[in-house]
A and B are shown apart, each in its own frame.
Chain A
Amino acid sequence: EDLRVDGRGCEDYRCAEVETDVVSNTSGSARVKLGETDILVGIKAEMGTPKLEKPDEGYLEFFVDCSSNSPELEGRGGEELGTDIANTLYRVFSCENSVDLKSLCINPKEHCWVLYVDVLLLECGGNIFDAISIAVKAALFNTRIPKVRVLEDEEGTKEIELSDDPYDCIRLNVDEVPCIVTLSKIGYRHVVDATLQEEACSLASLLISVTSKGAITSMKKVGKGSLDPESIFEMMETGQRVGKSLHIALQKLLDEEESSGTSRPKVGFLG
Chain B
Amino acid sequence: MALSTIVSQRKQIKRKAPRGFLKRVFKRKKPQLRLEKSGDLLVRFHPFSGWEWGTGEVHLNCLLFVHRLAEESRTNACASKCRVINKEHVLAAAKKSRG
Whether chains A and B associate is no
| A residues at B contact (CB < 8 Å) | none
